[in-house]
Structure 1
């Protein structure tokens, strides 16, 4: 209940700050790039704060680190191929199997860690949020579909996120490099990256079709093993008390 109130409070504060910024500064004077950057940092801080206060076992922490490391390695290995990488697919798969919380943390961590190789910058929080949301929404989808999901479904889901990720990152480009900020320039920003977004979506589709049948059962077996261990620990604690 406290976490829900904290989330609601953040949303209200962020909305009030955005309205005040728009009211105090004329449109031509307001630096929307900086404003959006601050709001993104507040949002990421809220997610990390909730994760830090949640009851997360050491095994879940190790799992998140391992999946994030795998996605980071995938991004580095496929670096020569623009936007054609298994990174987003692995983040989606992590969220689908282990839930929204794990999915968001894997996605956000991948962006932060991999950019130590590719370069940190004001785009990093945008990537953290974009990949984090991809993992979180995959977690919600996984709760609905479960193990009966077909690889084609994950392929379609990955294709959608290939474009959504691009549009989120295009928003950063639009806010920082385009003037004036209007619908026409926003369309121009998205049109400029269209083929990169197509490449991203295509990669997600291919990796989903090629890897899901082998990866998904393995991750589900690992999740069941992790759940069994957790239940045994809780039972032992109750007996001791």
Structure 2
């Protein structure tokens, strides 16, 4: 377990959460392009590093778990209201009456799932550092959206900090737990591979939803959004150099 990677994820989460707490007016385009970039990078990492790994180990059975993970994420976003892919609007735009616990539960389960593949031992030596960077990049808009919604729900600053700290710890703790269990029990390491396949499905759902939506009116693909997506994919391609 590389602790530097986990610190990077912690800092990225705190950084994303601090943006709405310190900047009064955030340009809507900033969030759109940030989501497009991080979504494209996560998509590229998933396709180029994680998918080959699970198909190599599980064969065609991997596809079953990828599909299950895709629809597991569909279920989770009913709780989180899609905050993991940048949604800040809730039904009726009534932020004063947000059901906070289901929302935090859904987002925390997703964050825990993100952490589990970080504790897995990959044959592809570039897979783990690439995934770490991809998850860290995704944490910035994820935390930004979470704290933005909590602020619109008129949560006190002390509560905002508690939520941000708790949320920031979920993914690193999941990575540490998965790594610790996998190193001590061979059967756990084997079954972690199935969890990685589930997470791949969730990542595919999140990243492709970002491509389609990411906050733009009528879901159009503007030139700048295309450039942000292209930059994310190019960065993902560059990680193949380190294989």
The two structures have a TM-score, normalised by structure 1, of 0.31
Structure with more contact order per residue of length (Cα contacts < 8 Å, sep ≥ 6): 2
> Considering only CA atoms, is the larger Rg found in Structure 1 or Structure 2?
1
